[in-house]
């Protein structure tokens, strides 16, 4: 029986961008259901002794990543523009997405895709509430009440719990894909393999 | 004009194993010439503040890597056995391979493949000179004179220079693929993309 796949991502994660842009079509083609799981890498990196993105700490790896991402986006026909600064604080975007998913709203997937495109396709700042409000408005979502729901205590706690769950599942980076049998796949490079595993 | 590709690997590098096992056939199919470049990750990791493999330092990542490698080898029909201890000292194996490549001998590629298979396919110790001597003997190579050439000062210096060149090319992990136009590709996952790039 085909397993549903959990798609774990952080809005500040560079390789989560191509994964978010192509997972819906790839999963539809594979006949696999996907649940979007925004979480925060920050606390997970902190537990590994890092106070920012490893791409900022390890400079050769960071330089490589930007060139690799540029080539990757070129091959996928995705717009690419390196955002400044990097990494950006993804807390508010994650809270908004999670509030929407938890409420069973129809807009969160499109919101996530639009946030990724704004940041990595257009170089916009996603740590600016104005950017996120503008995206919500495009999808016909009332931004004032949505921001209020995102910043409510119960939703803050929900994001903390989501991040703790990611850590307990063994997730150490993003994007990551998990499924009920316990298999974990890490990285945009593993998306197709994760979907194939779900169909075994 | 098709570029030749430099294949950079460390014998202790887990993902260098599947890359070494499949690069010859993949490159032949692509019509791309490959130069095998053994080097040492140790000095490069040290410059990043690590005194051992990051898979040993960051435990969640290490646990994931072993499972990922096992799945990967399963998909490629490669034997897999997790070596103990890990990582193993790859210095002597690298010196032997480099001495052979530098002398223009015919055995070094097969030697490299056999060393990777011994370690990650059979769980043998490649930091034991007896393992390396036995492999050389299988290929009809005199192990005493080869070990002497490997441990000679000029060959030790050659391996240091090779490792410095890797670092200057921006290499921070293995396997890596470079070519004359300066493009760098990192990881077994990028082998096919690197070969395609060389043919552009």
pLDDT value of position A59: 92
For B192, left (φ over 0), alpha (ψ -120 to 50), or beta?
alpha
Contact A136, A146 (CB under 8 A): yes
The closest CB to that of B170, out of A63, A173, A190, belongs to A63
Q: Between B3 and A48, name the one with better pLDDT.
A: B3
Q: How far apart are CA B86 and CA B17, in angstroms?
A: 14
Contact call for A171 and B60, based on CB within 8 A: yes
Q: State the DSSP code for B90.
A: -
B 34-73 residues with CB below 8 A of A? 48, 58, 60-61, 63-64, 67-68, 71
Q: Which two tokens stand for residue B88?
A: 């193993």
Residues A162-181: pLDDT tens digits? Answer: 999 999 999 999 999 999 99
Give me the percent of chain B exceeding a pLDDT of 70.
Answer: 100
Whole-number Cα distances in Å, B154 to A197, B105, B144, B150, B159: 49, 17, 17, 9, 9
Which residue(s) pair with B5 in the sheet? B34
pLDDT value of position A122: 97
pLDDT band, very low/low/confident/very high, at A95 (cuts 50, 70, 90): very high
Residue A171: phi and psi, rounded to 5, are -75, 130
The Cα of A170 is separated from the nearest Cα of chain B by a number of Å equal to 6
Q: Is the pLDDT of residue B131 over 90?
A: yes
By the 10 Å C-beta count (0-12 exposed, 13-18 middle, 19+ buried), B130 is classed as: exposed
The Cβ of residue A128 has, within 10 Å, a number of other Cβ atoms equal to 14
pLDDT value of position B130: 97
pLDDT value of position B1: 83
Contact call for B189 and A185, based on CB within 8 A: no
Whole-prediction pTM: 0.96
Pairing state between β A5-9 and A176-178:
antiparallel
Contact call for A171 and B61, based on CB within 8 A: no
Q: Which two tokens stand for residue A147?
A: 């921001």
Q: Which two tokens stand for residue B49?
A: 């503040």
Contact call for A61 and B173, based on CB within 8 A: yes
A181 alpha-carbon distance from chain centroid: 22
ipTM over 0.90? The verdict is yes
Chain A CB contacts of B193 under 8 Å are 71, 75
pLDDT value of position B158: 98
CA torsion angle for A49, A54, A58, A63 (degrees, to 10)?
Answer: -170
Residues A181-192: pLDDT tens digits? Answer: 999 999 999 999
| Overall average pLDDT of the A28-38 stretch | 98
| Helices vs. strands in chain B: H and E counts, helices first | 10, 4
A5 alpha-carbon distance from chain centroid: 14
Q: Which residue of B has its CA nearest to A174?
A: B61
- Count of residues in chain A: 200
The Cα of A2 is separated from the nearest Cα of chain B by a number of Å equal to 19
pLDDT value of position A21: 98
A 144-173 residues with CB below 8 A of B? 170-173
Q: Is A185 on the interface with B (CB under 8 A)?
A: yes
Q: How far apart are CA B146 and CA A62, in angstroms?
A: 39
Chain B CB contacts of A166 under 8 Å are none
pLDDT value of position B139: 96
User: How is A99-132 classified by DSSP, letter by letter?
Assistant: HHHHTT-SSHHHHHHHHHIIIIIT---TTSHHHH
CA torsion angle for B55, B58, B62, B68 (degrees, to 10)?
Answer: -100
Q: Is the pLDDT of residue A48 over 90?
A: no
| Overall average pLDDT of the B150-174 stretch | 97
Q: Is the pLDDT of residue A66 over 90?
A: yes
Tell me the torsion sign for CA atoms A103, A106, A31, A76. Answer: negative
Q: How far apart are CA A52 and CA B84, in angstroms?
A: 33
Q: Which of A37, A51, A44, A56 is nearest to A108 (CA)?
A: A37
Q: Which of B161, B162, B166, B163 is nearest to B176 (CA)?
A: B166
The Cα of A140 is separated from the nearest Cα of chain B by a number of Å equal to 40
Give me the percent of chain A exceeding a pLDDT of 90.
Answer: 94
pLDDT value of position A72: 97
Mutate: best of A8, A18, A51, A68, partner B, most B CBs <10 A: A68
pLDDT band, very low/low/confident/very high, at A115 (cuts 50, 70, 90): very high
Contact A103, A53 (CB under 8 A): no
B14 alpha-carbon distance from chain centroid: 9
Q: How far apart are CA B44 and CA B110, in angstroms?
A: 26
Q: Which two tokens stand for residue A66?
A: 């930007």
The closest CB to that of B189, out of A48, A60, A189, belongs to A189
Q: Is the pLDDT of residue B48 over 90?
A: no
User: How is B159-174 classified by DSSP, letter by letter?
Assistant: HHHHHHHHHHTT--SS
pLDDT averaged over chain B?
Answer: 97
Give me the percent of chain A exceeding a pLDDT of 70.
Answer: 100
pLDDT value of position A101: 98
pLDDT value of position A1: 82
Strands lying side by side in the sheet with B184-186: B34-38, B5-9, B176-178, B184-186
Q: Is the pLDDT of residue B138 over 90?
A: yes
pLDDT value of position B154: 98
Q: Which of A47, A40, A45 is nearest to A55 (CA)?
A: A45
């Amino acid at each position: 029986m085909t397993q549903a796949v959990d798609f774990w991502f952080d809005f500040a994660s560079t390789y989560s961008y191509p994964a978010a842009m192509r997972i819906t079509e790839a999963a539809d083609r594979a006949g696999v259901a996907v649940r979007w799981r925004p979480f925060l890498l920050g606390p997970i990196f902190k537990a590994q002794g890092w106070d920012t993105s490893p791409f900022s700490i390890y400079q050769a790896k960071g330089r490589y990543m930007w060139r690799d991402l540029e080539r990757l986006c070129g091959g996928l026909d995705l717009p690419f523009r390196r955002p400044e600064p990097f990494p950006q604080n993804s807390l508010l975007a994650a809270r908004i997405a999670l509030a929407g998913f938890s409420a069973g709203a129809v807009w969160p997937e499109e919101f996530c895709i639009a946030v990724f495109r704004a940041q990595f396709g257009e170089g916009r700042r996603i740590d600016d509430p104005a950017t996120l409000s503008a995206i919500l408005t495009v999808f016909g979502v009332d931004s004032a009440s949505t921001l209020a729901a995102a910043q409510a205590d119960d939703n803050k706690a929900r994001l903390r719990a989501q991040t703790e769950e990611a850590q307990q599942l063994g997730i150490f980076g993003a994007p990551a894909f998990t499924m009920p049998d316990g298999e974990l796949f890490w990285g945009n490079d593993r998306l197709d393999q994760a979907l194939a595993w779900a169909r075994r």
